[in-house]
């Protein structure tokens, strides 16, 4: 029988696990499934997965490469929190909202691609991404939450489209 679900916190705390091959049969990855897998360096999400649940990769401090398919429509709260080795990330075009603290604490993140179609950037979504130098917010975004880019101290270029109707306190 094929594996279709990786349960909540299934591999949480496996701090010496450098790699895991997720079978293509997997359609669901639970909350915190790989949280605190501090040696995990690379992972590919199967094409049948629709959501990156809350805290999925929280604290994966060695994660440098993650391949997320266009089937993913949601990146949950705290999904990549403190993934401090992540340097670049391309959000799939199918995602419509960047959740609370999704990339907060990704200290080495220098390149983030937010696609057209994202309508909201929630509070603290990219807070403390201290090496992020520029951000190009697509025209589809209408709301930027409080402290969304707070403590992004290297930001020198921010492009905010005229469609944005709400910018929360301390957003930048």
Per-residue pLDDT of 79-100, as tens digits, reads: 999 999 999 999 999 999 999 9
Per-residue pLDDT of 46-75, as tens digits, reads: 999 999 999 999 999 999 999 999 999 999
pLDDT of residue 2: 95
pLDDT of residue 41: 97
Provide the pLDDT confidence category of residue 38 given band limits of 50, 70 and 90.
very high
Give dist(CA 46, CA 71) in Å, integer: 9
Per-residue pLDDT of 101-129, as tens digits, reads: 999 999 999 999 999 999 999 999 999 99
Give dist(CA 122, CA 152) in Å, integer: 15
Average pLDDT, the chain: 97
pLDDT of residue 26: 98
Provide the pLDDT confidence category of residue 159 given band limits of 50, 70 and 90.
very high
Tokens matching residue 47: 């094409």
Neighbouring residues of 2: CB distance < 8 A, sequence distance ≥ 6: 23, 25
pLDDT of residue 168: 98
3-class secondary structure, 22: coil
3-class secondary structure, 66: strand
Give dist(CA 117, CA 115) in Å, integer: 6
Give dist(CA 156, CA 33) in Å, integer: 35
| 35-52: average pLDDT | 97
pLDDT of residue 21: 94
pLDDT of residue 147: 98
Q: Are 117 and 139 in contact (CB under 8 A)?
A: no
């Amino acid at each position: 029988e094929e594996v279709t679900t990786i349960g909540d916190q299934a591999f949480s705390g496996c701090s010496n696990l450098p790699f895991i091959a997720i079978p293509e049969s997997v359609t669901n990855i639970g909350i915190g499934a790989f949280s605190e897998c501090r040696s995990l360096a690379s992972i590919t999400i199967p094409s049948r997965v629709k959501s990156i649940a809350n805290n999925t990769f929280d604290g994966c401090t060695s994660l440098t490469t993650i391949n997320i398919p266009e089937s993913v429509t949601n990146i949950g709260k705290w999904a990549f929190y403190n993934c401090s080795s992540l340097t670049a990330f391309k959000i799939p075009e199918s995602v419509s909202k960047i959740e609370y603290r999704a990339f907060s604490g990704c200290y080495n993140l220098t390149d983030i691609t937010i696609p057209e179609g994202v309508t909201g950037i929630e509070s603290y979504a990219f807070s403390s991404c201290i090496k992020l130098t520029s951000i190009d917010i697509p025209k589809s975004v209408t709301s930027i939450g409080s402290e969304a880019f707070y403590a992004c101290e290297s930001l020198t270029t921010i492009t905010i489209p005229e469609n944005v109707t709400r910018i929360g306190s301390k957003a930048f």
